[in-house]
Structure 1
Amino acid sequence: MKPLALALAAALALASPALAGEQYVDRTGFAVSGYDVVAYRTLVQAPVGSDQPAPVPGRADITAEWNGATFAFATPENRAAFLADPARFAPQYDGHCAYGVSKGGKVPGNPALWRIVDDKLYLNITRNVVGFWEEDIPGNISLAEGNWPGIEAGKASANPIPEFTSAAPVK
């Protein structure tokens, strides 16, 4: 019976979701620099090659904990939507740069450099990187998805986001 029990335990362990890596949190103390991850869905997305609209700041008094980080929201309704399905709204790759992950690394994602693809929020680190990522979004997502399992559990980036001044959530 021992071999059967070990096989069952191994199968269950493999079927369980892997522990997520650390969410990127900058000096604001909030995931996504305190911007409301649900509100991205209300913004009109710019065409590839154009700057996206500015993200919506969250409020320090409307928050939720998920993946070891505090997320801030502009409204209680957005907080409720997030709590109903946090994986849908949280940025991919724990808030790290999608292009960086496609190249096998973990660098911070800039909440002002965003795109929603197939109902998933992706962040990138700099405008130059956005240009590289947008050259082949599906291909870069495919590469990132292949790389992510190998780097996900690693420590979150401790680097600041270049060319970005984060604003703390509105009180």
Structure 2
Amino acid sequence: MSLIIRNLTAFTFISCLLLFTTSAHAESEIYTEYFSDLAVSGYDAVAYFKQGKPVKGDNDYSFEYKKATWQFSSQAHLALFKANPEKYAPQYGGYCAWAAADGRTASGDPLQWTIIDNKLYLNYNAAVKEDWLKDAEQFIIDADKQWPGILK
């Protein structure tokens, strides 16, 4: 009998923990992976604009912005971000732009990115990015209408 109670207690605890982390995670303004506070999965948000590709950030060049840690590959990129984070931070907090257009959140993959009108957008995966690019202009209009209300 005590084994059943222990298993039930463990199951209840894990279920509550998952519910809490899912709820807290979904309401974060900036997407970070579970058990991490790194924005853009640790990639340098400025590098997309300056180098035209994703570049891993370095812990030595970190900055906290909107309750997330942003990492950069150089002091120069860190300085640019600090001076104007809204210019470099991905739209919709780094959540998938296609999902935001649909009124929900999904993780944004820093390797599935696009810059449109000097704004960075991330998508969930390559297939979603391909679909999103077919009508990105309309998806952006739709997502802009829904964001940030999705987080509530």
Specify the TM-score bucket, using the shorter chain as the normaliser: 0.7 to 0.9
1:98-122 Cα shifts (integer Å, max 9, x gaps): 0000111011100000001111100
How far apart are the structure 2 equivalents of 1:70 and 1:21?
13
What pairs with 1:123-134 in structure 2 (closer than 5 Å)?
Answer: 123-134=122-133
What SS class does the counterpart of residue 147 from structure 2 fall into?
Answer: helix
1:60-112 Cα shifts (integer Å, max 9, x gaps): 11101101100000000100000000011001001100000011101110000
TM-score with structure 2 setting the length? 0.77
What SS class does the counterpart of residue 24 from structure 1 fall into?
Answer: coil
Find the counterpart in structure 2 of residue 47 from structure 1: none
What SS class does the counterpart of residue 56 from structure 1 fall into?
Answer: coil
Instruction: Show structure 2 runs of 5+ residues with no match.
Output: 1-26
Find the counterpart in structure 2 of residue 43 from structure 1: 51
What pairs with 1:76-87 in structure 2 (closer than 5 Å)?
Answer: 76-87=75-86
% identity of equivalent residues: 40
What SS class does the counterpart of residue 25 from structure 1 fall into?
Answer: coil
How far apart are the structure 2 equivalents of 1:64 and 1:58?
11
Find the counterpart in structure 1 of residue 7 from structure 2: none
Find the counterpart in structure 2 of residue 57 from structure 1: 56
Which one has more relative contact order, counting CA pairs under 8 Å at least 6 apart?
A: 1
Q: Would you say the 8 A contact 1:28–1:34 is kept in 2?
A: no
Aligned length: 125
How far apart are the structure 1 equivalents of 2:51 and 2:116?
13
How far apart are the structure 1 equivalents of 2:149 and 2:98?
15
Output the amino acid matched with 2:76: E
> Which one has the bigger helix percentage?
2
How far apart are the structure 2 equivalents of 1:33 and 1:139?
27
Q: Would you say the 8 A contact 1:34–1:57 is kept in 2?
A: yes
How far apart are the structure 2 equivalents of 1:145 and 1:123?
14
Structure 1 segments, 4+ long, off by >3 Å, are: none
Question: Displacement of 1:56 after TM fit?
Answer: 0.3
Find the counterpart in structure 1 of residue 141 from structure 2: 142
Question: Displacement of 1:149 after TM fit?
Answer: 3.4
TM-score with structure 1 setting the length? 0.69
What SS class does the counterpart of residue 55 from structure 2 fall into?
Answer: coil
Residue 21 of structure 2 is aligned to residue 22 of structure 1: no
Question: Displacement of 1:31 after TM fit?
Answer: 0.4
Question: Displacement of 1:43 after TM fit?
Answer: 3.2
What SS class does the counterpart of residue 72 from structure 1 fall into?
Answer: strand
Find the counterpart in structure 1 of residue 41 from structure 2: 33
Instruction: Show structure 1 runs of 5+ residues with no match.
Output: 1-19, 45-52, 155-171
- How big is the alpha-carbon RMSD for the aligned residues of Structure 1 and Structure 2? 1.5
